[in-house]
Chains A and B, each alone.
Chain A
Amino acid sequence: MISREEVEHIAKLARLELTEKETEKMQKDLSAILDYFDLLKKAPKVKTQTVHAEKLIARKDEALLGDASCAEKLIAAAPDKKDDYIKVKAIF
């Protein structure tokens, strides 16, 4: 059984505010799900790993001309903005 403190810690890492009731239910649900994951302990070890790509290629660092109106739409979607900037709360 995962502890209440652990649930609170994970929620904090995930930047997720949980209510009292949610924390309780999460503790129960996560415990059941994590217990189910124990099944993987029975899985055999992997002998060979597939090679996904023969060679890794980084894409060229090019400046691609995009549609300027798209930039406006992206900014328009932000909840808080000023002119062409997205406003963010002070970190400290």
Chain B
Amino acid sequence: MDITTLTIKQAHEALKNGDFTSVDLTKAYLERIKKSDLNSFLSFDEEFALNQAKEADKQIKSGNFGMLCGIPCAIKDAIMVEGQKCTSASKILENYVAPYNATVIKKLFEAGAVILGKTNLDEFAMGGSGENSVFGPTKNPNDKTRVAGGSSSGSAASVAGNEACFSLGSDTGGSIRLPSSFCGVVGLKPTYGAVSRYGLIAFGSSLDQIGPIAKNVEDAKIVFEAISGKDKMDATSTDYKFENSETNLEGLKIGVPKEYFVKGIDPEVEKIIREAIKKAENAGAKIVEISLPSVEFALACYYIIAPSEASANLARFDGIKYGLSAPAENLLDVYLKTKGQGFGAEVKRRIMIGTYTLSSGYYDAYYKKAQEVRELIKQDFAKAFGKVDLIFAPVSPVPAIKIGERTDDPLSMYLMDIYTVSVNLAGIPAISMPAGKMAHSTGSGQTDLSVGLQIIGNHFEENKILSVAEQMEKLLK
């Protein structure tokens, strides 16, 4: 048996039965990471991981241990783990060592989880394909000529490639759901405020959320329960306690937004999503066609708000407090040269967009207008959830694209986020779960490309999403 293929629950049972130890399990993952050609990890520290595993084994021996104790995981390299490098896949933070633990990391340590290492991402979490990493793209485990999806590319690829039992990602406009969809794993973007962002390198502060990526829905639930809740270090975190509950598919009202099935969606993707919806209907759910008229504007709205916030958040990387500092004569040149040399093309583009849309003369036409449209999008969802319990939609209009396919055309890259960004703008939770695979012929034969189903819920209704996703998982097997 390959123990790296186990789910959290299965590994937990095996640890309980003494089939193997956490050290055995950790070593098995480390071996896979060392042999991997996915480029999913940016760094890993064997000694650090094995010490945690030894501690976990002591705890397991005592008999008093939780579900995550001794379970090896991977962390997106935008989340700080004390004493470990935190690069955000940027040259500007290439040698930056995290001075403290993010709250989610503290919680994982308390639960006894074993941190294997830090995973690849689009630089500063900006991208949908994973190709914007200064350390090279993450490859899709299902087809290595294709992208893993972004920005949490390594977090999704490591779980899909059995290099970690679960991982943490962050989602500003789809960065957990897109790679989860492309790699065929489960990724949950929680409600804004459900999980503390303290220790996450900020991108778009009104949108960023940390969430789990896992092999199945149950695992995602276990991790979400462990990391969620109020944190005094993040004022936007809310007093929320996840409570497991059953929401039966039978009689459930599922909304299907007509705007998500228009021109631009790959017909194969549409077919797989429609079939998944049909299966829910056959299981007794009531399918209701709904309209979210303002989602048409969501992408434009998002690509103003997120870069605006990013341009402010990234101002801190000025060559004085962190990492890279370009030698220069005067202070202004230190700023200009450090940022010029330290940031990659996409990050520069977003800083430029954000600076432009916030600049005097353009603020009203862009930033202010986008804030108004964001309100319309929120109202659309509020109205929809007055009529339906959950919304089913695709995660992405396309399956994993070829590496290099869209890198020259930023706008075409942004279009991959068209079904995910509105959820972040509204602050609501959504999951991506495997809905099916589409066969794709390549030069050397055939590969199956994963397609994800997106289940969107109202604020703090993760329990509804997760319960229904667990039932869908069985139907889609």
State the A residues within 8 Å of B (CB).
7, 10-11, 13-19, 22, 25-26, 29-30, 32-34, 36-37, 39-40, 42-46, 48-50, 59, 67, 70, 73-74, 76-80, 86, 88-92
Contacts and interface: CB of A to CB of B under 8 A. Distances in A.
Interface stretch (B26-34, B135-143, B212-220, B327-335): B327-335
Interface of B: 96-97, 99-100, 235, 294, 296-297, 299-301, 303-304, 311, 315, 318-325, 328-332, 334-337, 339-341, 343, 345, 348-349, 351-353, 355-357, 359, 366, 369-370, 372-373, 375-376, 378-379, 410-411, 414
13 contacts: A10-B359, A13-B355, A15-B332, A18-B340, A19-B340, A32-B411, A33-B303, A34-B356, A37-B366, A40-B297, A46-B373, A70-B100, A90-B330
Given A15-B315, A26-B348, A30-B353, A79 B320 contact: yes
Given A43-B376, A49-B375, A36 B99 contact: no
Contacts of A73: 97, 99-100
Contacts of B351: 14, 16
Contact of A30 (B323, B330, B352): B352
Given A29-B410, A50-B378, A11 B373 contact: no
A14 B411 contact: no
A3 to B, nearest CB: 12
Contacts of B379: 48, 50
Nearest to B297: A43
B303 A88 contact: no
Contact of A46 (B330, B332, B343, B372): B372
Contact of B320 (A29, A33, A88, A91): A88
Contacts of A50: 375, 378-379
Contacts of A10: 352, 355-356, 359
A16 B330 contact: no
Contacts of B311: 14
Contacts of B296: 39
A73 B99 CA distance: 5
Contact of B352 (A26, A70, A76): A26
Contacts of B369: 40, 43
A40 B352 contact: no
Given A26-B348, A26-B352, A16 B331 contact: no
Contacts of B414: 33
Nearest to B293: A44
A61 B352 CA distance: 35
Contacts of B315: 15
A29 B349 contact: yes
Given A33-B410, A89-B330, 19 more contacts: A14-B352, A14-B355, A15-B339, A16-B343, A19-B340, A30-B353, A33-B303, A33-B411, A39-B296, A39-B300, A50-B378, A74-B321, A77-B96, A79-B319, A80-B325, A86-B321, A89-B334, A91-B330, A92-B330
Contact of A15 (B318, B324, B373): B318
B407 to A, nearest CB: 12
B355 A77 contact: no
Contact of B336 (A15, A34, A49): A15
Contacts of B300: 36-37, 39-40
Contacts of B325: 79-80
Contacts of A15: 315, 318, 332, 335-336, 339
